[in-house]
Amino acid sequence: MPSRLMPKADIEALFARFEAANPHPQTELNYTSPFTLLVAVVLSAQATDAGVNKATKELFAAAPTPQAMCALGEEEIRQHIKTIGLFNTKAKNVFALSKILAKDYGGTVPKDRAALEALPGVGRKTANVVLNVAFGEPTMAVDTHIFRLANRLGLAPGKTPRAVEDGLLKRIPARYMRHAHHWLILHGRYICKARKPECARCLVRDLCRYPDKTG
DNA sequence: AACTCGGGGCA
DNA sequence: TGCCCAGAGTT
């Protein structure tokens, strides 16, 4: 099996291109604060982004803070997110974590991995997104897109999300860590798709270590 | 590390 | 129908 590890120089070039093409990448998830970001990511688990975007727009208009979310109540939350997958569990989790944030953290989102991962519905991936996007910490959130791209491109091949996360942290230059998550996730969503990657439109095709390039 | 959970989207 | 999705929780 040929090495699929992308050379460091190529990784530099890859992110330089992403940065040139999209200097200020933004997630498509609808959020305006650490709290709404946290909830948006919790809701996005195993759900399509279009549905989550619509649901969060409604939900956050009604309740943009933990206190407001508590006042809204679990049943009302459920009604707002009824169009996305796993809405039952997610409504329960959003209500429960809002209560915890309101009671134990004065309505703020803790800038602390252990505290975040202790919240219902929040795992390592969600905690990393919040730490990176909301608080600017150098973490890499490995979701299905990032996991796929790390292996396809050869950025940090690995069998488990944690192995990929560690590899990405080591191999991505520090100055790109702040936006790497957004660049990769948008690339995975629209170009390097799971089913039919559109290599013909790919900005970094010549750097890619994916053996089955098409298009 | 592997399995379960549990809805909608899309081929 | 069958497989996938911007995962988390449990065993």
What tokens does A5 get? Answer: 């590890």
**pLDDT exceeds 50 at position A215:** no
Q: Domains of chain A: which residue ranges?
A: 8-25+139-207, 34-134
Is A103 one of the annotated active-site residues of the chain?
no
What tokens does A50 get? Answer: 């279009």
**pLDDT exceeds 50 at position A2:** no
The verdict on whether residue A199 carries a ligand-binding annotation is yes
Q: Which residue has the tokens 């796929």?
A: A148
Q: Which nucleotide is nearest to A42 (CA to C1')?
A: C7
Rounded distance in angstroms from the CA atom of residue A46 to the C1' atom of nucleotide C5:
5
Which CATH entry fits the domain spanning A34-134: 2.60.40.10, 3.90.79.10, 3.90.1150.10, 1.10.340.30? 1.10.340.30
Residue nearest to nucleotide B5 (CA to C1'): A86
Strand C contacts (Cβ < 7 A) comprise: A 27-29, 41-42, 44-49, 52, 85-86, 93, 117, 120-127, 143-145, 148, 182, 185-186, 188-189, 194-195
- Categorize the per-residue pLDDT at A214 as very low, low, confident or very high, splitting at 50, 70 and 90: low
User: Helices in A81-200 by DSSP H: which ranges?
Assistant: 87-104, 113-117, 124-129, 144-149, 161-171, 177-190
Gap between the Cα atoms of A5 and A152, Å rounded = 10
The domain made up of A8-25+139-207 has a fold known as Endonuclease Iii, domain 2 (1.10.1670)
**pLDDT exceeds 50 at position A211:** yes
Rounded distance in angstroms from the CA atom of residue A194 to the C1' atom of nucleotide C10:
28
pLDDT tens digits along A62-84: 999 999 999 999 999 999 999 88
